[in-house]
Amino acid sequence: MKNTKLLVLAALFVGSLPISLQAQSGKWETLFNGKDLLGWKQLNGKASYTIANGEIVGTTVSNEPNSFLATEKNYGDFILELELFVDNSMNSGIQIRSESKSDYQNNRVHGYQVEVDPSSRKWSGGLYDEARRGWLYPMDINPAGQNAFKKDTWNKYRIECIGSSIRTWINGIPTANLIDNITPIGFIALQVHAIGKNDKPGKRIRWRNIRIQTTALSPSKTDSIFVVNMIPNDLSAQEKKEGFSLLWDGKTTTGWIGAYKDKFPAKGWNISNGELSVDKATGAESTNGGDIVTIKEYGPFEMKFDFKLTEGANSGVKYFVTLTEGNNGSAIGMEYQILDDLRHPDAKLGKDGNRTLGSLYDLIASKKTANSTRIIGEWNRGLIRINKDNRIEYWLNGIMVTEFTRGTPEFYSLVSASKYKDWKGFGMAPKGHILLQDHGDRVSFRSIKIREL
């Protein structure tokens, strides 16, 4: 009976631990012995790395590029835990599955970085692709996780890399959930961020209790945070659990037809290599293949989609499209604008930039930042979230760029000053088709996913 009670108490204790601490079936290996830097090497910049009180201490040095203390060994699948204490005015990060090669930017360290960011931005725990693709998981898409990091104290990081899944926690709180397979193996490194020649040196970050599992890995339980899936036309287990499905299957025209038509356009659109693309034509609306729409109509929903622009291109994603207007050009609906802002003249039309990338077309200008934009030819991640209370959000590469509520006096005022002023009930249909626009420019789509709310 006594043993039974002990087992019950032990089970209750484990169950009360944060999820990230319950899955530890493998054997831990210490990466830092607390005495010296055996097994580590310094790359790129010349920041100072010293040992004190059983800790690795990284100190900034003026006019040096990003510095990295890297493991000599490479790691593929692993669970890594460590504690860190950082100066509040300093930026840092933990490289994982990273590389340094002579044929890539002269040995510059590149790869996944788990962010250490004590600034008011609160992006600690997010995932950045150092010297490669930029932000993959900015923390704006996980507001609860932004409060996981604590200033002026030690913070415990947990990082799980298992197959294509990369997940992070700070102090037991889930912060990032990424699906990506671009780099399956690489070193782990501790970053001291670059500072300029006129910046005051001497800011410090300290690391301790660095340990890793590489065998008998047991991933933590499924979390409920936003999933960024970089694998084209793929649904992760968590996305499926959350109710997402592929709105386009990546291979066929199933589920889509031409706007005002009974079948998919015979020309103007093509499917190749998992991409659905508009062919280059005249640059005018719906003069080649025409718009395509979902056969099904949708009410409130959350839609993820990747898109890639060519130079000077124009397109858009519309929703609540009723196809009742009999319009000769593009079908009518609220639009997530897709545009090359630098080269297409539409960016300078409208009012106050309300026809630029990520805007509610001709109504509300997007609030883009440097972190939310990509150069032409690179894939962008779009998100349209339509809540049941009519609040609508547009996201671009993990940053919310437009937010509004339809049906409010402010919304009606915007409509009355727009090109849609003569369309009765514009934007107020309870449900409608989702549309991809043919504007006569080459634009590609993939990874189009939806869940109804």
Q: What is the pLDDT of residues 128-137, one digit of tens each?
A: 999 999 999 9
Spatial distance between the Cα atoms of 93 and 176, rounded to a whole number of angstroms: 14
Q: Is position 3 within any domain?
A: no
Q: Please indicate, yes or no, whether residues 34 and 80 belong to a single structural domain of this protein.
A: yes
pLDDT, position 284: 80
Q: Is residue 419 exposed (0-12), middle (13-18) or buried (19+ Cβ within 10 Å)?
A: middle
Cα end-to-end distance, the chain, whole Å? 49
Task: Single out the residue in 228, 261, 276 at which a domain terminates.
Answer: 228
Q: Are residues 411 and 274 in the same domain?
A: yes
* Cα torsion angle, 11, 12, 13, 16, sign: positive
What is the Cα 324 distance to its own chain's centre? 36
Task: Tell me the pLDDT band of 21, cut-offs 50, 70 and 90.
Answer: very low
Q: How confident is the model at residue 18 (pLDDT cuts 50, 70, 90)?
A: very low
Residue 86: what pLDDT?
98
Angle at 254 between CA 251 and CA 260, to 5 degrees: 125
Domain end among 228, 252, 272: 228
Together in a domain, 382 and 256: yes
Residue-level pLDDT at 13: 40
The pLDDT-based confidence of 286 (bands split at 50, 70, 90) is: confident
Q: Is residue 7 part of a domain?
A: no
Percent of the chain with pLDDT over 70: 94
Tell whether 101 and 237 lie within a shared domain: no
Long-range contacts of the stretch 324-332 (C-beta < 8 A, 24+): 325/423, 326/260, 328/286, 329/285, 329/286, 330/259, 330/285, 330/286, 330/291, 330/435, 330/437, 330/438, 330/439, 331/259, 331/260, 331/291, 331/293, 331/433, 331/435, 332/420, 332/423, 332/426
When divided into structural domains, the chain yields a total of: 2
Whether 24 and 107 map to the same domain: the answer is yes
> Could you tell me if residue 9 is inside a domain?
no
pLDDT tens digit sequence for 59-108:
999 999 999 999 999 999 999 999 999 999 999 999 999 999 999 999 99
Q: How far apart are CA 99 and CA 111, in angstroms?
A: 6
Is residue 11 in a domain?
no
Task: Verify that 210 and 268 share a domain, yes or no.
Answer: no
Q: How confident is the model at residue 176 (pLDDT cuts 50, 70, 90)?
A: very high
Confidence of residue 290 (pLDDT cuts 50, 70, 90): very high
Residue 373 lies in a domain: yes
pLDDT band at 283 (very low <50, low <70, confident <90, very high): confident
Shared domain check, 213 and 242: no
What per-residue confidence (pLDDT) applies to 309? 98
Query: Is it the case that residue 14 has pLDDT exceeding 50?
Result: no
- Mean pLDDT, residues 373-378 taken together: 96
Say what the pLDDT of residue 449 is. 98
Least confident among 148-152, 321-325, 378-382: 321-325
Same domain flag for 309 and 436:
yes
Do 382 and 368 form a contact (C-beta atoms < 8 A)?
A: no
The yes-or-no verdict on residue 165 having pLDDT over 50 is yes
For residue 424, give the CATH number of its domain: 2.60.120.560
Question: Mean pLDDT in the chain?
Answer: 93
- Whether residue 156 lies inside any domain: the answer is yes
In this structure, the answer to whether residues 307 and 437 fall within a common structural domain is: yes
- What is the residue range of 221's domain? 17-228
288: left (phi over 0), alpha (psi -120 to 50) or beta: alpha
Task: Label residue 160 by pLDDT band (50, 70, 90).
Answer: very high
Q: For 6-31, what is the mean pLDDT?
A: 54
Asked whether residue 10 is assigned to any structural domain, the reply reads: no
> Is the same domain home to 249 and 215?
no
Cβ proximity of 236 and 103 under 8 Å: no
Residue where a domain stops, chosen among 166, 194, 228:
228
pLDDT of residue 302: 98
- pLDDT tens digits for range 215-252: 999 999 999 999 999 999 999 999 999 999 999 999 99
Place of tokens 């509520």: 405
Q: Alpha-carbon distance 188 to 55, whole Å? A: 17
Q: Taking a C-beta distance cutoff of 8 angstroms, is the pair 334, 310 a contact? A: no
285 and 171 assigned to the same domain = no
**pLDDT tens-digit readout, 384-438:** 999 999 999 999 999 999 999 999 999 999 999 999 999 999 999 999 999 999 9
Q: Could you identify the residue written with the tokens 């934007």?
A: 427
pTM higher than 0.85 for the full model?
yes
Joined tokens for residue 452: 């109804």
Note the pLDDT of residue 7. 38
pLDDT score of 25: 62
Token pair for 428: 């107020």
Q: Count CB atoms within 10 A of the CB of residue 323.
A: 18
pLDDT band with cut points at 50, 70 and 90 for residue 16: very low
What would the 3-class secondary structure string for the chain be? CHHHHHHHHHHHHHHHCCHHHCCCCCCCEECCCCCCCCCEEEEECCCEEEEECCEEEEECCECECCEEEEECCCECCEEEEEEEEECCCCCEEEEEEEECCCCCHHHCCEEEEEEECCCCCCCCCCEEEECCCEEEECHHHCHHHHHCCCCCCCEEEEEEEECCEEEEEECCEEEEEEECCCCCCEEEEEEECCECCCCCCCCEEEEEEEEEECCCCCCCCCCCCCCEECCCCCCCHHHHHCCCEECCCCCCCCCEEECCCCCCCCCCEEEECCEEEECCCCCCCCCCCCCEEECCCECCEEEEEEEEECCCCEEEEEEEECCCCCCCCCCCCEEEEEECCCCCHHHHCCCCCCCCCCCECCCECCCCCHHHCCCCCCEEEEEEEECCCCEEEEEECCEEEEEEECCCHHHHHHHHCCCCCCCCCCCCCCCEEEEECCCCCCEEEEEEEEEEC
Q: What confidence tier does 184 reach under pLDDT thresholds 50, 70, 90?
A: very high
